Chain A
Amino acid sequence: MRIGLFATCLGDTLFPEAVKSTAVLLARLGHDVVFPPEQTCCGQMHVNTGYQREPVPLVRGFAEQFGDPSIEAVVMPSGSCAGSVRHQHEIVAERYGDAALRSGVAAVKAKTYELSEFLVDVLDVTRVGAYFPHRVTYHPTCHSLRMLRVGDKPLRLLRAVEGIDLVELPEADACCGFGGTFAVKNGETSSAMLQDKMRHVTGTGADVCTAGDASCLMHIGGGLSRIKAGTRTLHLAQILASTRTAPYALTEAAR
Chain B
Amino acid sequence: MSSTFLGMPAAPPRSPYGTGNLRGDRKFPKAASGELRNEQLRRNLGKATRSIRAKRLAVTGELPDWERLRDAGSAIKTETMNRLPELLEQLERKVTEHGGTVHWARDGVEANEIVTRLVKETGSDEVIKVKSMATQEIGLNEHLDTQGVTAYETDLAELIVQLAHDKPSHILVPAIHRNRDEVRDIFRREIPGVDPDLDSVPAHLAAAARAYLREKFMTTPVAVSGANFGIAETGTLSVVESEGNGRMCLTMPRTLITVMGIEKVLPRYRDLEVFLQLLPRSSTGERMNPYTSMWTGVTPGDGPQEFHLVLLDNGRTAALADRIGREALNCIRCSACLNVCPVYERAGGHAYGSTYPGPIGAVLTPQLAGMHEAKGDPNSSLPYASSLCGACFDACPVKIDIPSLLVELRHQHTERSGVTAEKLAMRTAAAVMKRPKLFTAAQKAAGAGRVLAGRDGTFSHLPPPFDSWSDSRDTPAPPKQTFRSWLASAEGAATLRAAAEEGVPAPGPTGAAGPHDPEEQR
Which residues from chain A sit less than 8 Å from chain B, CB to CB?
7, 9, 11-14, 16-17, 19-20, 23-25, 27-30, 33, 35, 37-41, 43, 45-52, 54-55, 57-58, 61, 88, 91, 124-129, 131, 142-143, 145-147, 156, 159-160, 162-163, 173-175, 177-195, 218-219, 221-223, 225-226, 243-245, 253-255
Contact = CB atoms under 8 A, between A and B. Distances in A.
Contact of B430 (A16, A23, A46, A173): A46
B36 A192 contact: yes
Given A28-B499, A182-B388, A222 B483 contact: no
B219 to A, nearest CB: 46
Nearest to B474: A225
B410 A54 contact: no
A183 B344 CA distance: 15
B504 A54 contact: no
B479 A255 contact: yes
A189 B36 contact: yes
Contacts of A61: 433-434
Name B's interface SS.
helix
Given A28-B502, A244-B505, A184 B466 contact: yes
B429 to A, nearest CB: 7
A254 B384 contact: no
A146 B391 contact: yes
Given A14-B476, A16-B482, A24-B495, 14 more contacts: A16-B479, A27-B500, A41-B429, A50-B384, A50-B412, A126-B517, A142-B388, A142-B390, A182-B386, A189-B343, A195-B472, A223-B472, A226-B472, A255-B457
B472 A30 contact: no
Given A51-B411, A54-B427, A184-B465, A189 B347 contact: yes
A163 B509 CA distance: 11
A175 B496 contact: no
A168 to B, nearest CB: 16
B391 A175 contact: yes
30 contacts: A12-B483, A16-B479, A27-B496, A28-B500, A30-B503, A40-B436, A47-B407, A50-B409, A50-B412, A50-B414, A51-B414, A57-B430, A57-B434, A58-B433, A127-B516, A128-B504, A129-B504, A142-B391, A146-B391, A183-B387, A185-B465, A187-B468, A189-B36, A190-B387, A191-B472, A194-B472, A222-B458, A223-B473, A253-B457, A255-B479
B433 A41 contact: yes
A86 B396 CA distance: 22
Contacts of B486: 16, 20
B474 A254 contact: yes
Contacts of B197: none
Interface stretch (B26-34, B149-157, B331-339): B26-34
A19 B443 CA distance: 16
Given A50-B411, A189-B346, A254-B474, A162 B483 contact: no
Given A28-B500, A54-B426, A162-B507, A188 B468 contact: yes
Given A223-B472, A225-B458, A193 B504 contact: no
A50 B430 contact: no
A160 B484 contact: no
Interface residues of B, number: 84
B484 A35 contact: yes
Contact of B28 (A126, A186, A245): A186
A193 B342 contact: yes
Interface in B267-317: none
Nearest to A60: B434
A153 B388 CA distance: 22
Given A40-B439, A46-B430, A47-B407, A175 B517 contact: no
Contacts of A184: 465-466, 468-469
Contacts, number: 254
Contacts of A128: 504
A129 B465 contact: no
Interface in B396-455: 407, 409-414, 422-423, 426-427, 429-430, 433-434, 436, 439, 443, 446-447
A218 B29 contact: no
A65 B475 CA distance: 30
B389 interface: yes
B192 interface: no
A175 B503 contact: no
A180 B343 CA distance: 14
A221 to B, nearest CB: 8
Contacts of B507: 127, 129, 162
A51 to B, nearest CB: 5
A245 B498 CA distance: 13
Contacts of B430: 43, 46, 51, 54-55, 57-58
A18 to B, nearest CB: 9
B394 interface: yes
Interface string B5-36: 00000000000000000000000110011001
Contacts of A50: 383-384, 407, 409-414
Interface in B476-493: 476, 478-479, 481-484, 486-487, 492
Nearest to B473: A222
Top 8 A-B pairs ranked by shortest CB distance? A187-B468, A179-B387, A50-B410, A222-B473, A160-B517, A146-B390, A175-B389, A57-B434
A113 B466 CA distance: 31
Given A48-B388, A184-B465, A37 B496 contact: no
Nearest to B417: A50
Contacts of A180: 388
A160 B465 CA distance: 43
Pick from B387, B423, B469, B514 the residue with the most CB of A within 10 Å. Answer: B387
A206 to B, nearest CB: 19
Nearest to A174: B342
Contacts of A29: 504
Interface string B214-236: 00000000000000000000000
B515 interface: yes
A7 B516 CA distance: 27
B393 interface: yes
A40 B431 CA distance: 11
Given A126-B520, A156-B517, A23 B487 contact: yes
B78 interface: no
B193 interface: no
Given A54-B426, A186-B28, A175 B342 contact: yes
